[in-house]
């Protein structure tokens, strides 16, 4: 059974009397542990798709199964539980709380899950060590570089050990130098921890680490809607699909320790 199975998904936004059709019959299947790059022009529905995958919003039509659960059948409370436990979000603008240390930012999602203080602190430090920031736990966001902030955001996304990581343009505000460790980190989550990682991106380097590129246009998937062996579309391997990439998939997912992970 695929982790995610979307068939004929539509999403309409009503603005007064106008209806914006953001998704228009989108098909997408994703299996556990895949790294997916979602690409497509601005306005093609990428963020809308991410919101539905992340149970932040529900589709207008079609069938959407996430981990065997029919998203259309879930009540708001169940959607909240689903996204709290199964999904971790990473945003282009990091969305960290400026007045809190890196450690406290990572602790936040655990507070909502009712984890006790001591355990939260321990786990947050463990996650920050995992993303190479063991020596930055007390730093506030404005005392960190962009790349470091995004790695704090990844640690926060991992707080409740979700199966799925959703990253909407995670390197959009970073230069290549700080973006590369962020991408390596996301790849590593799939390779080492078996997480499913879905990245919306315009960045060829991000697309190069993906197992598959899903292309959207006008609210539909125009390429890469199914995985290999599923018998849908035969899409070339993601790495070969992108020109001018500085990242070799073979160099990724092996190690990102070292740089600043020593306490």
Q: Is position 47 an interface residue for Mg ion (rule: CB under 5 A)?
A: yes
- Whole-number minimum distance, CB 61 to ligand ADP, in Å? 15
Is residue 180 within the footprint of Mg ion (CB under 5 A)? no
Nearer to ligand ADP, 22 or 154 (CB): 22
42 binds, among ligand ADP, Mg ion, none (CB under 5 to 8 A by kind): ligand ADP
Dist CA 12 CA 69 (whole Å): 22
Distance CA 251, CA 184 (A): 9
Q: Measured from the CB of residue 42, what is the shortest distance to ligand ADP in angstroms? A: 4
C-alpha 62: how far from chain center: 23
How buried is residue 108: exposed, middle or buried, by Cβ count under 10 Å (0-12/13-18/19+)?
middle
43 binds, among ligand ADP, Mg ion, none (CB under 5 to 8 A by kind): ligand ADP
Give least dist CB 91 to Mg ion, A.
10
Burial of 259 (0-12, 13-18, 19+ CB in 10 A): exposed
Q: Does 29 bind Mg ion (CB under 5 A)?
A: no
Question: Whole-number minimum distance, CB 40 to ligand ADP, in Å?
Answer: 6
* Whether the Cβ atoms of residue 44 and residue 218 lie closer than 8 Å to each other: yes
| Best CA proximity match to 222, nearest among 13, 33, 34, 45 | 45
Tokens of 119: 């355990």
| Contact between 44 and Mg ion per CB under 5 A | no
**Contact residues for ligand ADP (CB under 6 A)?**
13, 15, 20, 22, 40, 42-48
Indicate the residue among 47 and 256 with the shorter CB distance to ligand ADP.
Answer: 47
Contact of residue 20 among ligand ADP, Mg ion, none (CB under 5-8 Å per partner type): ligand ADP
Q: How far is the CB of 47 from Mg ion (least distance, A)?
A: 3
Using CB under 5 A, list all residues that contact Mg ion: 46-47
């Amino acid at each position: 059974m695929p982790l995610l199975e979307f068939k004929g998904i539509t999403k309409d936004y009503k603005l007064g009397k106008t209806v914006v059709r953001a998704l228009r019959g989108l098909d997408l299947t994703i299996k556990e542990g895949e790294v997916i790059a979602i690409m497509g022009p601005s306005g093609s529905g990428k963020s809308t798709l991410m919101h539905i995958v992340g149970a932040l919003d529900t589709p207008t039509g079609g069938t959407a199964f996430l981990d065997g659960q029919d998203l259309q059948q879930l009540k708001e409370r169940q959607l909240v539980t689903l996204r709290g436990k199964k999904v971790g979000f990473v945003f282009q603008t990091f969305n960290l709380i400026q007045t809190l240390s890196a450690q406290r930012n990572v602790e936040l999602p655990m507070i909502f899950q009712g984890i006790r203080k001591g355990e939260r602190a321990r786990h947050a430090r463990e996650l920050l060590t995992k993303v190479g920031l063991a020596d930055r736990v007390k730093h506030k966001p404005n005392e960190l570089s962009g790349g470091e902030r995004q790695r704090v955001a990844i640690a926060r996304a991992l707080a409740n050990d979700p199966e799925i990581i959703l990253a909407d343009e995670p390197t959009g505000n970073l230069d290549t130098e700080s973006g590369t460790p962020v991408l390596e980190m996301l790849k590593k989550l799939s390779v080492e921890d078996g997480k499913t990682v879905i990245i919306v991106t315009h960045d060829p380097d991000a697309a190069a680490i993906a197992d598959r590129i899903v292309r959207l246009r006008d609210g539909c998937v125009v390429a890469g809607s199914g995985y290999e062996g599923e018998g849908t579309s035969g899409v070339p391997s993601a790495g070969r699909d992108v020109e001018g990439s500085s990242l070799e998939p073979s160099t990724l997912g092996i190690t990102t320790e070292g740089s600043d992970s020593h306490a």
